Chain A
Amino acid sequence: MQEFGYLKETPSQTAGPYVHIGLTPNFCDIGGVYAEDLGSAMVNDRTLGERITVTGHVYDGTGALVRDAVVEIWQADSAGLYNSPSEMRGTADPNFTGWGRCPTSAEDGAYVFETVKPGRVPFKDGSMMAPHISFWIVARGINIGLHTRMYFPEEADANNADPLLSRIEHRERTATMIASRDDTTYTFDIRLQGEQETVFLDI
């Protein structure tokens, strides 16, 4: 019989407490190596779409702040196109990266992204998913990066029809993937463990 010859994926390890040295050196006072920390700016003054701020905190199983996490987000532009070579439906806004990286603050534990509200993108069957932002969280004590999504509270109809949210068996848990809103600021807290544990994804 033929063999596949597949390799195994390199196993994950924790990012550790000093992840900032590698991913955001300027943030931890290692200046002069990179001009700026990668992923610190997603928009410029020509970016199309509705400007929003996405912020939040990461909590552990006791409700304590996780102050040494790094959060990365990935999202479509305001027209629903990804700034990626694998995007075959069109060309995304060249003034929008779609990707951001932010450490949680050592002081108040918050992460903050200045971005735009994403347009809708299709599910595999062609139906449209609700607008969402993909999240990836790493930290000391997290052995493999955690994926989740943030949805928008004003999109109730789209959220109700969303193919991912619809698959959450315990309906009350869908609330953990929906941000709260105050004007143009969305707050999306991530709870790693316990009562209000965020829904994490195997994608």
Chain B
Amino acid sequence: MSDIPNRKPETGAFFARDRAWHPPAYAPGYKTSVLRSPQRALLSLDGTISEITGPVFGHSIIGELDNDLIHNFARPGESAIGERIIVHGRVLDERRRPVAGALVEFWQANAGGRYRHKKETYLAAIDPNFGGCGRCITDEYGQYSFRTIRPGAYPWPNGVNDWRPAHIHFSIFGHGFAQRLITQMYFEGDPMIWKCPIVGTIPDKAAIEQLIAPLDWGNTIPMDARAYKFDIVLRGRRSTLFENRLEGN
């Protein structure tokens, strides 16, 4: 844990979450949600210090290969098999301000759609040089980037013939525990996106589009790796203008 340099600490409460934009808890097209969704209403609470604070991680936790999934599990001199890509973007808040010092963690299947996990039984092969996890911390402009292998589509036992689109899971820490977010990134042009029951838990097409990373030709490195851009938006904070006049307003 460490301070974020050169930034005034922020102490405002967060904008209320638009829960019509996020997927609802109960989304029966995604079968597991049926028994794992609360039935009672959430109890609403404007953020207290317990929610507007959160852990912040120093760059010291980041190892040299943490943002290189092509090599961070590979044997010396070898690399993971598949389409080499760079994924990069910015972490912003709803007020368009960069979120510096945000921890971004990500995980994914290999090029064949196989996860390295003991509960996973898909018959596609494990890549001995691919682990599937990585992390980075955003810089002062909110930027992050990593190199990886484009993941494959993946079949799963939901409907008889359901397949996940190629996707990368993201976990993001902003500066407050109430900003905590886990989501998934999809790839421009993938026809599987619009067939997926997990994508389909999101009611608004515009919200789904926010999870689709466009191919970023400008940042593609010739003879090396293509690039995709994925910006992430966390909850904005209220201005602290009035926070010191609790009795007055």
List A residues at the B interface (Cβ < 8 Å). 5-23, 25, 28-30, 32-35, 38, 60-62, 64, 66, 68, 72, 74, 76, 82-88, 97-99, 106, 121-126, 129, 132, 134, 136, 138-147, 149, 164, 167-168, 173, 192-194, 197-203
Contact = CB atoms under 8 A, between A and B. Distances in A.
A8 to B, nearest CB: 6
Contact of A143 (B24, B40, B133, B171): B24
Contacts of A140: 32, 36
B175 to A, nearest CB: 6
A18 B45 CA distance: 31
Given A30-B73, A141-B37, 19 more contacts: A7-B92, A9-B234, A10-B211, A12-B23, A28-B116, A34-B63, A38-B57, A60-B36, A74-B53, A83-B1, A83-B55, A85-B9, A86-B10, A86-B52, A86-B54, A121-B49, A141-B33, A144-B25, A201-B43
Contacts of A25: 131, 133
Interface stretch (B77-85, B181-189, B218-226): B181-189
Nearest to B232: A10
B152 to A, nearest CB: 14
The listed residue with most B CB atoms (<10 A of its CB), out of A25, A82, A125, is: A25
Contact of A124 (B48, B181, B235): B48
Contact of B50 (A74, A97, A146): A74
B210 interface: yes
B94 A6 contact: yes
Interface in B32-74: 32-40, 42-57, 61, 63, 65-66, 72-73
Contact of A147 (B9, B132, B178): B178
The listed residue with most B CB atoms (<10 A of its CB), out of A62, A64, A138, is: A138
Given A34-B63, A193-B38, A194-B39, A141 B117 contact: no
Contacts of B44: 201-203
Contact of A126 (B61, B107, B246): B246
Given A97-B55, A123-B48, A201 B96 contact: no
A29 B74 CA distance: 15
Interface residues of B, number: 96
A43 to B, nearest CB: 13
A6 B53 CA distance: 22
B87 interface: no
Which 5 pairs across A and B sit closest by C-beta, in order of nearness? A22-B107, A141-B32, A141-B36, A84-B53, A99-B55
Given A10-B211, A203-B178, A33 B35 contact: no
Nearest to B206: A8
Contacts of A28: 116-118
Given A13-B183, A21-B133, A66 B36 contact: yes
B163 interface: no
Interface of B: 1, 3-4, 7, 9-11, 16-19, 21-25, 27, 30, 32-40, 42-57, 61, 63, 65-66, 72-73, 92-96, 105-108, 115-120, 131-135, 169, 171-172, 175-178, 180-184, 198-199, 201-202, 206-208, 210-211, 232-236, 246
The listed residue with most B CB atoms (<10 A of its CB), out of A87, A167, A203, is: A203
Nearest to A38: B61
Given A8-B18, A124-B246, A61 B35 contact: yes
A18 B43 contact: no
A141 B30 CA distance: 7
B118 A192 contact: no
A72 B51 CA distance: 13
Contact of B38 (A22, A84, A85, A146): A146
A139 B36 CA distance: 9
Contacts of B21: 8-9, 11
The listed residue with most A CB atoms (<10 A of its CB), out of B16, B54, B63, B208, is: B54
Nearest to A142: B36
The listed residue with most A CB atoms (<10 A of its CB), out of B35, B131, B207, B234, is: B35
